[in-house]
Amino acid sequence: MQPFEPTRPPPPNISHPGIMAIDITDKFTSAVATMSPGEVVKDDTFHLYDSVSAMEIMDRKMDSGILDEDESLDEEYDVTSSVLPQEILGIIDELLCLEMAWHLGYPLSQTILTSVHVDALMNPDPATIQDVDFSNKPSGPGPESVMLLVLRAYCAGLLRACFSVNEFMKEEMSYEEEDFVTNTYGRGLLGNIPVPDIKKLLLDAIAEVCAERNGFSQSIGAALVSRLELRIAFLDALDLDTTRMNLSELPRLHWTRMGKFIDEIANQHGLGWPVPAAFSTKLQRRLTSTMPPRPMVSLGFQECISHFSRLFEDAHEVIDILQYEDPQSLLNFILLFQQKQPQPLAFIRTMLQNLMFKDMVVLGRLSIRQLLDHDVCLSVLPCGPHFNQSFDYVEAPEDPRHKIAHAMEEFRQRVAEPYLDLLCVLCQNRCRVRRLLCHHVQSWDALEQEVAEIEDRIDQHIPTITSEEYPAEDPEYKPLRSWIRFFKLRQLQWIVQLGFELRIYQPDELAEMYHCLASLAVFIKLEWNRTRRMTASREQRARKFVGLLDDDESLPTPIGEDFTRSSQYQQLMMLNAAFTSCLSEGLHLLYLALMRLGFVKRPPQPYGTDALRYELRMRPIKLGTPGLPPYELVKKEVEKPEMSTEEVLGQAEKTIGDARLFVRDYINYNKQESFSVNPTSHSYWAKSVRSDMHATISAGVAIGMLQKALKEMEDKKTNCSTNGVTLGLKVTIPESGDSNSNRWIVPTVTRKSTDSTN
């Protein structure tokens, strides 16, 4: 057998002035032949980065420097050449699309930094507004110089806005691999140029466009002005430090103006002419990046306008968070705003965090202590002596007031970070919220034990300075510990509910997970019922203390208002927990019936057991309190072998009916009773409650259809088939976004047509 001789490929055809190619194949082969197997030759200055770079050379997918025949290394488009007004509009509209693509999560290298004009403004990095120019040479007189001024001013405003947005994203909690790319590839984005200088340049451009001597139509001039005004309004709106301190309508006005401008731009888009040569991926070669070349992101103009309109609308609504009245209204605003479909963009969620908490100040005017004390007071301890600020001025170490103040400060310091972290966690994208909550709830579980120790020290001194004593019927009640437990239980509930919203659970798991949610809700309801009894008892003692014997008489204003608001909140939470437990249990029974009838089938799962899968599924909520019941008990509660299918459906009908009654109790609550104090939050709350009501109605209809079909089969003396064929029904489980409320996956049960098949 003859030895294999590989065919030598022809040498590459390299022809370029200044390059002399030498074929070293023979020398390289001879040198390698002298080496023994396994021997490695490495230069001390040749590192891993060099080896990877060597592998990328001449690979079109990896080497951004590879050129075609007669291709130039640099972009040949002349940024100082004459540009028509219609071409300026086309370039600006394309920049708008690239800017929105960046907000959607694409990197700058594939979006804004592919613009030749943008690259020219930052190369080299300008130090003053006079340096922000396409060329060091001044442009000549005439309409062309006006057009270049317009484009230069627009690009400067765009880059300065991108710098501000990028800084906000880096300061707050966000995730680059999921939400936003903050890499600027070594470009400064005009961060050294003051915003007033950029705005003056934009105003100068507007003045030139509005001058009558320019030779273009009025519609073209109006289109140019709209785009320049958009950039000024964006820069004004990004001054969040001013927004936090200004509770008037002025901060919203900027976003309202941008919404008007973007509508005008959408109507004027047809006036522009596209200029593809003004954008090039060759510019990626100049960026500080180890990434291979990537194509420019192409975003349709109508899609861009739709995203911008939603961005401005969401930003206008986010400012409502500054209308603070109580901590639970603040929390409800975040929860309801984040449930919007589609979810707000990453910049809006970052803006929400920035307005909520910055420089150790909450909402621009509250301390962390004020927020925590207000929350505890509202939830579990209205008018409690724990919050008496006069205790802070007692210096005697042995004085009970000093010890209470010291213990409460220790409580605040321990709780403040998890509390604020929870608010920031809820501002993330929905997948990340669930992932973080699974870890965050563990810290609240450990915090419950630590707070219990602090509260024991407080309880030793409370009776010595006040008549405050816990009733004999519940001497173990601890309000601070209950407050921690409520937050922990709500996080567990959110984790399970987000599993339904994100469609994590398979159809055959829905019965078990709705049973889990119902069990959590029952535990929450019992805890709130206990707290409500204790609050009512404390209110009665307060009435006796001030000498009120008639129950119709009101307590003095500050005390009475605190007890009234606390009672309203506890009532709302109890109703919500009761509704959640009933509807969850009803859906659990409904899916159990569907599984028995064969409409929901369990797929083959040979590589594991049900007990192991139960352990894995429940791992995120496996905590000390309330604890995780054993699988055998859960299986019996979920499958209910002692009940027939007709009994299961009957019980489901009853629990769904109870859920409908509970939601009717608070569907007409006003913004004060629902703890959604601003119009935006209350509108979202009302929409959410209507969706809950619709879920109960849809579940009742599905149960009724199944009961009717089973009754008809019983009347016909027909044995029900396990695959549901003889029932003549079709069951559809909605996908994500198809149902009115993503937390409630209510199946649709309909009659099958005579010509359809199962």
Q: Element (H or E) spanning 731, and its range?
A: strand 729-732
Residue 75 included in any domain: no
In the listed set 292, 322, 352, which residue is the last one of a domain according to the structure?
322
Q: What is the pTM of this model?
A: 0.86
Return the pLDDT at 662. Answer: 94
- Helix (H, G, I), strand (E, B), or coil: what is residue 429? coil
User: Hunting for tokens 């309203």 — which residue is that?
Assistant: 568
Strands 729-732 and 357-358: unpaired
**pLDDT confidence of residue 16:** 61
For residue 366, what are its two tokens? 């509250």
User: Has residue 459 been placed in a domain?
Assistant: no
Indicate the burial class of 461 (C-beta count within 10 angstroms; 0-12, 13-18, 19 or more). Answer: middle
CB atoms within 10 A of CB 417: 12
- Indicate whether 462 belongs to any domain: no
* Residue 756, pLDDT score: 46
Structure tokens at 743: 């937390």
User: Closest Cα partner for 240 from 65, 138, 132, 359?
Assistant: 359
Q: Are strands 357-358 and 361-362 parallel, antiparallel or unpaired?
A: antiparallel
Task: Show which of 294, 322, 350 is a domain's final residue.
Answer: 322
Determine the Cα–Cα distance for residues 517 and 504; give it in Å rounded to an integer: 14
Please classify residue 67 by burial: count the beta carbons closer than 10 Å to its beta carbon, then call 0-12 exposed, 13-18 middle and 19+ buried: exposed
CB 564 within 8 A of CB 610: no
Task: Mark which of 261, 289, 322 sits at the end of a domain.
Answer: 322
Q: Is the dihedral of CA 434, 438, 439, 444 positive or negative?
A: positive
Locate all alpha helices (DSSP H) within 667-752, ordered by sequence: 679-715
Residue 74's pLDDT is what?
65
What per-residue confidence (pLDDT) applies to 758? Answer: 40
Q: Provide the Cα torsion 450, 453, 459, 464; round to 10°.
A: -120
pLDDT at 70: 61
Tell me whether residue 242 is in a domain.
yes
Give domain status of residue 32, yes or no: no
What gap in Å lies between CA 311 and CA 255, rounded to an integer?
9
Cα–Cα dist 576/227, whole Å: 47
pLDDT along the chain (758 residues), means of 10: 52 63 85 82 74 61 62 72 91 96 94 93 88 66 71 96 95 87 92 94 93 78 95 95 87 94 95 92 82 84 96 94 93 94 93 92 92 94 88 88 92 95 94 94 91 89 69 71 94 94 93 94 94 88 69 73 92 96 97 94 88 88 74 92 94 96 92 90 92 94 93 70 65 74 89 58
- Res 1: pLDDT: 45
SS3 content of the chain, % helix, strand, coil (to 5): 60, 0, 35
At 310, list the tokens.
């939603």
Asked if residue 387 belongs to a domain, the reply is no
Question: Tell me, what DSSP letter sits at residue 385?
Answer: G
For residue 610, the tally of other CB atoms under 10 A from its CB is: 13
Range of the domain at 182: 85-322
Q: Is the dihedral of CA 602, 603, 609, 614 positive or negative?
A: negative
Q: Is residue 60 part of a domain?
A: no
CA distance readout (Å), 412 to 337, 361, 371, 417: 27, 15, 10, 9
**380 within domain boundaries:** no
Number of separate domains in the chain: 2
CA 644 to chain centre: 43
Distance CA 700, CA 746 (A): 10
- Residue with tokens 């806005």, as numbered in its chain: 161
